[in-house]
Amino acid sequence: MNTEGMDISVIVPLYNEEESLPELTDWIRRVMEQHGFSYEILLVDDGSTDGSWEVIRQLAASDPALRGIRFRRNYGKSAALNTGFQASRGEVVITMDADLQDSPDEIPELYRLIAEEGFDLISGWKKKRYDPLSKTMPSKFFNAVTRWISGIHLHDFNCGLKSYRSTVVKSIEVYGEMHRYIPLLAKWAGFTNIGEKVVAHRARKYGTSKFGLERFINGFLDLLTISFVGRFGKRPMHLFGTLGSLFFLLGFIILLYLTIAKLVYKEYGIADRPLFYFGILTLIVGSQLFLTGFLAELVTRQAPERNHYLIAERLEEGKSYPVIEETS
């Protein structure tokens, strides 16, 4: 199959979705053929324990555009997406869930927004959802917190239906539970033209949801991690050093005041005052924060990627060449 200049790669991470796969892939195929896209469908089996992989093998036997990747065990959606991103060959990459809650009819417009409107990433927004309140209410709160921390104004960060420019997915690494924050990963990689599209949401037709309430706890911790790494990953001393200096300065001022009070104003019993112990505590905390920043700087300077930066384009001999690489 000739993949040169392929329009679209559709990546579908899945776990125990054997019932929905034939219907989903047939639907995607119909949409692609109706609009004349060159495409591939990449099914990433995240260690399914049902017959999902056998279904994928059967589908691939009759469809040269369909490819499959199978994990030996369940690693999670982030691992499946990251593997699919690296294996994709289309100029535009579209991700969707395998449970038929995402509609392949959205593909043409998602493609157009990337290919013609110039967006780097389009995130789906399931404005009208067919989920119980136990999922929708925590999701709204979670999205509000994510908008506030990330500065990216999207309504539904966790929507599985997204489209990307190929350079975006080749420039980021998705791990842990970071699939919820791919727009933020893209932003830190320098892709800031991020948009949103209202998409249809369908009720689940087969199976049950694979995610529990723990995803909100893990997701919040991952949000803090990615925000910190994105802002201070290459300069941790800027954070810890600043905080450490402020705490140390506060403790120094408190103890200086108490020293002057004892020597000049002849106040006694300052060691019995709570302010004395608070001053000592802030001195210790400040010193520890400063030391943490210093050690983090030493670790960062020894990291092999300390001077690696994403290059968007090269200009040589009057010609411009887009590239996807890191350099030092």
Helix, strand, coil % over all residues of the chain, rounded to 5:
50, 15, 35
Within-domain flag for 63: yes
pLDDT tens by residue, 54-72 = 999 999 999 999 999 999 9
Q: Which pair of structure tokens corresponds to residue 132?
A: 């119980």
Residues 149 and 224 in one domain: yes
| Rounded Cα gap, residues 85 and 82, in angstroms | 5
Torsion of CA 159, 164, 167, 169, to 10 degrees: 30
pTM of the model: 0.71
Q: Domain boundary residue among 231, 266, 281?
A: 231
Residues 117 and 144 in one domain: yes
Within-domain flag for 324: no
Residues 251 and 222 in one domain: no
Residues 211 and 285 in one domain: no
Residues 102 and 201 in one domain: yes
For residue 136, the enclosing domain spans: 8-231
Residues 92 and 178 in one domain: yes
Ramachandran category for residue 6: left, alpha or beta (phi over 0 → left; psi -120 to 50 → alpha) = beta
Residues 181 and 36 in one domain: yes
Residues 90 and 29 in one domain: yes
Residues 272 and 196 in one domain: no
Residues 140 and 243 in one domain: no
Task: Write the single-letter amino acid at 90.
Answer: G
Nearest to 110 by CA among 162, 52, 184: 162
Q: How far apart are the first and last CA of the chain?
A: 36
Q: What's the confidence (pLDDT) of residue 8?
A: 96
Residues 186 and 269 in one domain: no
Give how many domains the chain has, as a whole number.
2
Strand ranges inside the chain, DSSP E = 8-14, 39-45, 66-70, 92-95, 121-125, 162-165, 194-198, 309-316, 319-327
pLDDT tens by residue, 254-308 = 989 888 888 877 777 777 788 889 989 999 999 998 888 888 777 766 655 554 5
Residues 225 and 245 in one domain: no
Residue 140 contacts by C-beta under 8 Å, 6 or more apart in sequence? none
Within-domain flag for 68: yes
Report residues of the chain scoring pLDDT below 70.
1-4, 129-136, 203-234, 300-328
